[in-house]
Every structure is written in C-alpha cells, then in structure tokens.
Amino acid sequence: MSRFNGFTKKQILDVYKNMILSRSLDNKMLTLLKQSKSFFHMGCSGHEAAQLAASTVFKPGEDWFFPYYRDLAFCIGIGMTAKEHMLGSLARAEDPSSGGRQLPHHYGLKKLKIVSQSSSTGTQFLQAVGCALARKLEKTKEIVYVSAGEGTTSQGDFHEALNWASRAKAPIIFHIQDNEYAISTHKSEQTGGSISALASGYENLYKYDVDGTDYFETNLAFRQASQRARKGRGPSLIVTNVVRLLPHSSSDDHRKYRSNKDLEEDKKRDPVVIMEEYCINNSIITQKKSDNLQKDIHKLVDIDAEWAELQEHPDPGSALNHVYSNENNLIETKKNIIDDNVVMVDAINHALKEEMIRNEKMIIFGQDIADPKGGVFTATKGLSKHFGAQRVFNSPLAESSIIGTAIGMAVTGIKPVVEIQFADYIWTAMMQIRNEVVTLRYRSNNAWSCPMVIRAPVGGYIHGGLCHSQSIDGFFIHLPGIYVVYPSNASDAKGLLKTACRINDPVIFMEHKSLYRQGHASSEEPDKNYLLPFGKAKIVQKGDSLSIITWGAMVQKSIDALKSNEIENGLVEIIDLRTLNPLDFSTIKKSIKKTGKALIVHEDNLTSGPGAEISALVAEHCFENLDGPVKRVGAKDAPIPYNPFLEEEILPHVDDIAFSIIELLEY
C-alpha cells in the first residue's frame, strides 16, 4: 500500500516535477516576452496543484478536454510537452494549438482531444456539455473536463451549462479555479454568494469546494467526481481555491489594484513551495536533490525554448487557409421527381428524414421540435417518433445552449442539425456563432471543425411584429466561416438542405416563414438522392434589359412586380441566388453584361444590408457594362411593426419593386 496520502513516492515526485516544469515554463515565457520574442503571456503560477490534481484522473487520448487559458499545468499533466507549449508561446507554424493563429495559451491538441479554445470567457462550458452528451449518446465511458476562472461563472453560458448537464446527467466535471480575481475585479464584486452555493439547486450535480493549493485534497474531489461521471451518475462542479501569483496577463500590473499584503499572503500559499515542503518533510526528496531537480528542469526548458525559437513562423501565404474545408465537392445530381406538389415545409421535413436515415450520426434538436408538436412550424413533425428521443429531442429554451452544445457534439463527429425557433432569437447564441462556430476550423489550423446546420425561420409579411419578422442575412454574409443558404421554393429547399447536411462546414439555413405553405413556393418534390450544390444561382426568368438579383421571398415578389405592371416579357432577367455565401457572382456578372442594369431586391433592411455588398461587387466588377445606377429595394431602416398597415410601410412590396424596375428601365 502506498504511504503518501494514497500515492507512491514516484507518483508524488512526478507531480512535483510537473509543477516545477509548469512554473519554469511560465518564467521562461515571461523572459522571452521581455526580450520581445513573443507578445503575450497568461500565467499559470499558483494554479499548478489544482490543475495537476485534476489531470491525473483523466485518460489522455480517450477523455475530452476544454481547458482555459490558465491550464498550462493541466495540459502538461495530460501529456502536452514543454516543446508544444513553447511553440504556442512563440506562435510558430508547428504550434499544435493553432499554428500561431491564436494568442498563446488557447489550448488545442487533437491527439489528446484538447478541443481548441477561443478567447471568449465561458463559451467552453456549453461545448463541453455537448461533447459529454455526445459521449453518452454513443455509449462510451469517456468523460469531459471543462475549466474556467471564478469570474467567468458570471457568464450566462455557465448557468445554462449546469442546467443542461444536470438535467441530462452528463459525464462532465466543471473545474472552477477561484483565484479571487477576474483581471482586477475581486470576487466580492462579482458573484452573489459562493459559486457552489449558487449551483446548489441543480439535482444530479455534485459540488466540491476545496483548497486548490492542496494537491491531495483537490485530487480526492476529482477522483470522486470522475468515478461518478464514468458510472453515468452525473456531473460535478469542483471549485478550487487557488492563488494568482502573477498579474492577470503580461498586459496587466496587479500592483495597481492589489495591496502588498494581499500579494504577500498569496505567496505563502504557493503550491510549488507547499509541495516541495511536503516532499522534504516526508523524505521523498532532500533539499539538495530538490534544488538540483529544479535546476535540471530549468535547463531543459531553456533547451526547448531555444529549439522552438529556431522553428519556422507560419507562411504569410497560408493566412487565408482553412476558413472552410477543402472537401466540400458535392455536385448537382439528377432530379428524379417523386411527387408533383410539395409545400416547402414538408420538403424540409422530408429532407431531414432522408438525411437522418442516411447518416446515423446526424441528430436534430431545438425548442419544441419533438413530437407531438414537431416544431412550431411542424418542420420536424414525426421525426422524434421515427428516430427516437436519443436522436431528435427538445432543447432547453436557450439559444446559446443549442449552438454551444452543437459545437461540442460536432467536434466528436456527430452532425447536429439544430433549429432556432425564430431567427429573431438567434442573438443570444451570437457569441457561440461569431467566436466559436465560424472560427473553429481556422483558429485550430484545420485540426478541429464543427460542421452543423442551423435552421432558422426568418422574415416577415406574417404580422409577426418586431421579434417574429426579422431578416438576418445581412449579418450572416459578413461572417467568414459559415455558408448562408436561403431557398425560395420547396424543391430548392430540399436539395440545398440535403447538401447542408452533408457538407463539412457550418451552414445557416434560412427558411422564410411565409413560404412554408405558400402555393407559389410549393413545387415538384425531388427524390432522396437530389443534392443542390451551394453557389449556383438560378435564372428564374430570362430578360435582356435589366437584371434583378434576389432570393428568398423576394423572388416571387419580383415575378409579381413584372406581372402586375404588365412589364413586357423578355425585358427583365430574375436571378434567384439560392445561397448568399457562396455567392454565384459569375451568373450575376454574365447577366449584367447582357442587360447593363442591376436591381438588387432583398427583404433585410437597406443600410449595410446584403444588397450593399452585392452592389459594391457589381460597381467594381461590372462598371464597364453598366448603363444605369445600381439600385436596391429593401426594407426601410426600422423595426418591423405588428399592425398590418405599419408593417406594410416598412417591408418591401411588389409596388416598390415595380417602381424601381420602371425607373431603371427608363433610365
């Protein structure tokens, strides 16, 4: 039986060595920074015991990790080498976290299942829960580690994550490293009570408050929590009280807001000193051997740093690589018709069902999407009944939860196809979308990605008022890293959605609510093999005097504008873009070359709307062919009011389009 708190001498010495290594790396990295060899550092000093106590309970290569920027010692504990850390600190091409794309300490290491982390504090919680849910779904024994500082528990995502994890008994351990400061803000200004007390209402969640400078106490909590998680009994929250021995980051000077006394008190709890004393007092090591060990490790760190300095910087020519996957070569397939008339919402439902049958890794979730309701627009009707609650289920009423967990599932190979009930409520998920979904592939230098489909009912004309009428295309075409799809009819919706489900990148799939059951948006239904590739616009109507560039519900309104004003056949060409990213600019250009005039018609509001970008492209690339000003029709710059007369005033209508067509034709 081992003598030292249940550990062998060798085990304790290994922990002590890793503590010294971590501290030594911190110091070396700060030296390199002072020598202007790097630009940024976030220290781990003071957190080593808590992190190493955590790291030993996991199975590297099997379990999953979402560590935060202070987790240098944790990453060492699970197997990340000093060389790998140094490559990150110096932002070299071979930095395994990001190839120098992210700030140092934004860990990611594919072979160890350390999922690439961004800078947004707190986004990792929901991703880790999604990962844990996926591991449970696939009936593995793998468990998930996620960490953050105590300040970050003020983020809503933390509370959403605890909610979902405890509701689902997810195999996850939340590690909150409480160093009492979030940059300069003391926790007394941060949290309405102790963090574990805040979480006390969650059933299935075990809570621990431990001294994070005490390796043994902390390790005991992690051992219990990991056993619990592996047995499927549910999540744990472990708050470790630690000390922050360095300023928040290399850009901070903590003497500006912490007293000398406070800083001196922290030094008395230095975990490396505590561990050294333990080792010496228990005759695990002599003082002399300990001194020599420290010297040897510092030397090794110096050697690794020198080696890392000699490594190549990333090639500037690679800066645009990996915004998207290179493996999205889906081609258009033959259209075999199985039904002569299907409404758009049913075409979407059928596409989802066919893709679920085809890909057993695909899952669907969102608010109210399960049967018997099957979604507020019935797009998912019958799916939970057919595929079971494991693969089709209701999410909590929390959009950040939906996207955050989808990311964590997607990194494990699951294909989430999620519904945001109304696009008007996507905004609480925007941090997850903007800083996580669209950047994961890029920031991890192609090591990680999160292909998913976000279905979002959009648009107005249904008297939905301010928060059930919004268009979001303008926002989304601004985001590199996500494809933007916006069908105008049932057949296209089916082909495009099936492509979205098979593509290797995130897709936002906009479904116009007013088209769901519209006669003019219904069409013949293509069979299960039909795929419509992205970036291929459709000429809805041919013409030689003016090009209308449009999509979504505006396609039919443009057709109606011609009809209602008896505009002669063959004058106006209508292009349905079908996807806004990728944009089929070659079709636009070809058309304008013929017509010499361009009118962009969209539902989103005008200022900085999607038409602004297309107009700029037309102005730049079609200037010599233009025979008139590039014009736009869109919603007025105001919220969309409920009263039908007010609503009509704001949204673009057939008459507005007709007016612009005539004006431009006569120009």
**Measuring CA to CA, which residue among 600, 620, 622, 619 is closest to residue 611?**
600
List b or e across 563-580, with b for residues whose CB sees 16 or more CB atoms inside 10 angstroms: eeeebeeebbbbbbbbbb
Nearer to ligand TPP (CB atom), residue 155 or residue 469: 155
Least distance from C-beta 70 to ligand TPP, angstroms?
5
Cis check for the bond before 582: say yes or no (omega within 30 of 0): yes
Is 487 a residue that touches ligand TPP (CB under 6 A)? no
Nearer to ligand TPP (CB atom), residue 249 or residue 328: 249
Q: What is the DSSP string of 581-623?
A: ES--HHHHHHHHHHH--EEEEEEEESTT-HHHHHHHHHHHHSG
Burial of 626 (0-12, 13-18, 19+ CB in 10 A): middle
Nearer to ligand TPP (CB atom), residue 38 or residue 121: 121
Distance, CA of 233 to CA of 507 (rounded, Å): 35
Least distance from C-beta 181 to ligand TPP, angstroms?
5
Nearer to ligand TPP (CB atom), residue 67 or residue 506: 67
Distance, CA of 132 to CA of 168 (rounded, Å): 10
Q: Are 398 and 365 in contact (CB under 8 A)?
A: no
Encoding tokens for residue 318? Answer: 């690679």
Exposure on the CB side of residue 595, measured as CA atoms within 13 A: 31
Is 212 a residue that touches Mg ion (CB under 5 A)? no
Least distance from C-beta 71 to ligand TPP, angstroms?
9
Is 183 a residue that touches ligand TPP (CB under 6 A)? yes
Is 157 a residue that touches ligand TPP (CB under 6 A)? no
Pairing of strands 415-419, 453-458: parallel
Is 219 a residue that touches ligand TPP (CB under 6 A)? no
Extract the runs of DSSP E, i.e. beta strands, from 429-578.
453-458, 483-485, 507-512, 523-526, 538-541, 546-550, 572-576
Scan residues 179-208 and list those touching Mg ion (CB under 5 A). 179, 181-182
Q: Which residue has the tokens 């490790």?
A: 297
- State which of residues 46, 96, 149, 464 lies at the interface with ligand TPP (CB under 6 A): 149
Is 152 a residue that touches ligand TPP (CB under 6 A)? yes
Question: What does DSSP assign to residue 109?
Answer: B
Is 587 a residue that touches Mg ion (CB under 5 A)? no
List b or e across 246-279, with b for residues whose CB sees 16 or more CB atoms inside 10 angstroms: bbbbbeeebeeebeeeeeeebeebbbbebbbebb
- State which of residues 23, 228, 248, 468 lies at the interface with ligand TPP (CB under 6 A): 248
- State which of residues 124, 127, 179, 587 lies at the interface with ligand TPP (CB under 6 A): 179
Distance, CA of 310 to CA of 406 (rounded, Å): 39
3-class SS of residue 364 = strand
Does residue 468 carry a catalytic annotation?
yes
- State which of residues 88, 104, 130, 149 lies at the interface with Mg ion (CB under 5 A): 149
Distance, CA of 477 to CA of 507 (rounded, Å): 11
Which residue's CB atom is positioned nearest to ligand TPP?
A: 149
Q: What is the largest CA-CA distance in the chain?
A: 97
Which residue's CB atom is positioned nearest to Mg ion?
A: 149
Nearer to ligand TPP (CB atom), residue 121 or residue 405: 121
- State which of residues 148, 279, 438, 572 lies at the interface with ligand TPP (CB under 6 A): 148
Mark 163-182 with x for binding to Mg ion (rule: CB under 5 A) and - for no binding: ----------------x-xx
Is 70 a residue that touches ligand TPP (CB under 6 A)? yes
Is 195 a residue that touches ligand TPP (CB under 6 A)? no
> How many residues make contact with ligand TPP (CB under 6 A)?
15
Given the residues 468, 478, 512, 653, select the one marked as catalytic: 468
- Taking CB under 6 A as the binding criterion, the range among 150-158, 209-217, 313-321, 399-407 that sits at the site for ligand TPP is 150-158
Mark 20-59 with x for binding to ligand TPP (rule: CB under 6 A) and - for no binding: ----------------------------------------
Least distance from C-beta 221 to Mg ion, angstroms?
19
Contacting residues toward Mg ion, per CB under 5 A: 149-151, 179, 181-182
Active site residues: 468
Contacting residues toward ligand TPP, per CB under 6 A: 70, 119-121, 148-152, 177, 179, 181-183, 248
